[in-house]
Amino acid sequence: MVNISVKLEAQLPQGLASLLREIGEIAEARGESAYLVGGVVRDVLLGRSNFDFDVVIKGRAISLARQLARDKGWDIRTHPRFGTAKLLWEDFSLDLVTARSETYDRPGALPTVKAGNIEDDLARRDFTINAMCICLNPRIFGDLLDPHGGQVDLEQKLVRILHHQSFVDDPTRILRALRYEQRLGFQLESETNDLLIKHLTNLDTVTGERLWHELELILEEDLPETIILKANALGILQRLGIPLSNDEGLTECFVTARSVHDQSLSLHSISLALLAHRMDSEEIEGCITRLKMPGWATRVLRDTLHIMESVPSMEALDILPSEIYRMLKPLIPEVIASAAITSNSPTVQERLEIFLYNWRYVKPEITGTDLQKMGVSPGKQLGEILKALHDARLNQTVTNRDEEEILTRKLL
């Protein structure tokens, strides 16, 4: 049995390593067993940092989690139906789950869950590299359980499923496999690769919400475009309702998005808009329906469609900044940033960027209250004057408060 307690303690911040020991001690005192499982074990072995801790309890996870939350004064969220609890502490999260086995009634369905032992719990997992665990109980703290050969696959840089039915049981693993392959710089083991291709059609059995969740995880990776291009080449994106018939130049767009990224904008929304730029209105509506997209993502897609329609008119030589402002203001900024990346016209690019970094913040100094003090009563006229002042500021026909006052008097 390999013991990796030294590695574990060297790699985790002091507080977290002792927390794991404490969990092991609490479990021991309750006559239960605790194991650190999944991605964090893989990442400890790879020397990568990961502070999303998943702990499996052979026993009663929720009750143990409550005891720990009470001792520490942490917030806790429980899901009694699934026997799981989440503890939240600063930017760190700890999930405690009761050891379980899973069976699948039909492809793509959620599994039927039964209490089980740690071996069952590891056997229900997606890939060998994610199916290892570290014992936390005191006398065996740091012992690594690796019944499926995860360590060898980590050394050989392979993503390998545990059994032939894996992609049938849970076709979202098709997307997960591509994600780990890219993130870790691994390859799909050859039989896993064949089965992945063979079972692609099973993606059609998965609910939109689950597919959307996987797509979001892909967009959050450091290099989402690599996964997207491979998924497209395999025909997977098509099954997600994203038929990217043309993916030429996609990598350059994602690289530019990262290099010009302004922290106030969400990179993940810009990435989604970059995909939407390559779709037509019918495809966009099809994708929103297939993936049961949440409101914000639906808005990214539909706003992308609007901006693609507005862009040609933004090339006009005599278009005023205020006209561009009125076109762009209703759209979310990430869509505008992505249009600046994809546009072939330097004029349009420049105008979109000026909007993002300047025009969208421009405001007249005179406010509605000032106008009321000048005798304008609230209502239509006041709104029109404010809009005229705003336009004048954008078009730089007024540049300070005195000029705004002159314009206001003229308008009155």
Residues forming the site for ligand CTP (CB under 6 A): 38-39, 50, 52, 54, 125-126, 130-131, 170, 172-173, 176
Name which of 173 and 277 has its Cβ closer to ligand CTP. Answer: 173
Name which of 127 and 325 has its Cβ closer to ligand CTP. Answer: 127
Could you give the C-alpha distances from 356 to 153, 200, 240, 361, 362, in angstroms and in order? 47, 41, 31, 8, 11
CB of 219 to ligand CTP, least distance (A): 13
The three-class DSSP label of residue 86 is: strand
Could you give the C-alpha distances from 74 to 27, 95, 278, in angstroms and in order? 18, 13, 46
Name which of 44 and 348 has its Cβ closer to ligand CTP. Answer: 44
Residue 318 corresponds to which tokens in the numbers above?
């005599």
CB of 411 to ligand CTP, least distance (A): 58
Name which of 108 and 321 has its Cβ closer to ligand CTP. Answer: 108
Question: Which residue's CB comes closest to ligand CTP?
Answer: 39
390: part of which helix (H) or strand (E)? Answer: helix 380-394
Which has the closest alpha carbon to 52: 42, 39, 33? 39
Name which of 42 and 351 has its Cβ closer to ligand CTP. Answer: 42
What does the alpha-carbon distance between residue 17 and residue 44 come to, in Å, rounded to a whole number? Answer: 12
What does the alpha-carbon distance between residue 345 and residue 181 come to, in Å, rounded to a whole number? Answer: 36
**Burial of 371 per CB tally in 10 Å (0-12, 13-18, 19+):** buried
Q: Look at the chain and count its residues.
A: 412
What does the alpha-carbon distance between residue 217 and residue 206 come to, in Å, rounded to a whole number? Answer: 16
What does the alpha-carbon distance between residue 39 and residue 50 come to, in Å, rounded to a whole number? Answer: 8
Contact call for residues 350 and 356 (beta carbons, < 8 A): no
CB of 169 to ligand CTP, least distance (A): 9
What does the alpha-carbon distance between residue 372 and residue 401 come to, in Å, rounded to a whole number? Answer: 16
Contact call for residues 169 and 104 (beta carbons, < 8 A): yes
What does the alpha-carbon distance between residue 136 and residue 64 come to, in Å, rounded to a whole number? Answer: 14
Which has the closest alpha carbon to 381: 396, 364, 368, 392? 368
Contact call for residues 288 and 313 (beta carbons, < 8 A): no
What does the alpha-carbon distance between residue 119 and residue 138 come to, in Å, rounded to a whole number? Answer: 20
Name which of 125 and 239 has its Cβ closer to ligand CTP. Answer: 125
**Burial of 366 per CB tally in 10 Å (0-12, 13-18, 19+):** buried
Q: Which residue has the tokens 């599994």?
A: 111
